[in-house]
């Protein structure tokens, strides 16, 4: 789940408003928190730690998706493919995996 989605869900579940969150996070105003919730900005390390404390979750719970989307070992195409895959329903994901598994690399020289 994307960081902005996770933050929106945690906010709703905890009953905290944007103002409540902004008050709890150092150097974060309402506009910054709104940008996080919209996915327009990413909080810094200290802010992630403060968000985790505010919501009572481990920082890793907030960073799991973020870390995977920023993985430098993945190419741009892999990031795009993963993002597209995650937007599919489970039936579509299964069909896409079936197609991908059926594709075999062509032998060179043939």
Q: 11 and 64 share a domain?
A: yes
Give residue 20's Cα distance to chain centre. Answer: 22
Q: 15 and 53 share a domain?
A: yes
pLDDT for 39: 87
Domain around 41: 3-69
Q: 59 and 40 share a domain?
A: yes
pLDDT for 73: 65
Q: 61 and 17 share a domain?
A: yes
The pTM score is 0.59
From the first residue on, what is the mean pLDDT of each consecutive set of 10 residues in the chain (110 residues)?
85 93 90 93 90 89 65 70 83 90 72
Give the span between the Cα atoms of 21 and 25, in whole angstroms.
6
């Amino acid at each position: 789940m994307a960081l902005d989605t996770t933050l929106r869900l945690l906010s709703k579940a905890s009953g905290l408003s944007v103002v409540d969150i902004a008050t709890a996070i150092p150097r974060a105003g309402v506009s910054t928190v709104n940008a996080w919730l919209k996915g327009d900005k990413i909080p810094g390390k200290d802010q992630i730690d403060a968000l985790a404390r505010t919501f009572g979750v481990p920082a890793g719970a907030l960073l799991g998706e973020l870390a995977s989307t920023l993985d430098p070992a993945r190419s741009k195409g892999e990031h795009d493919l993963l993002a597209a895959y995650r937007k599919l329903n489970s039936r579509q994901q299964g069909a896409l995996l079936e197609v991908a598994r059926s594709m075999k690399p062509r032998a060179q020289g043939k």
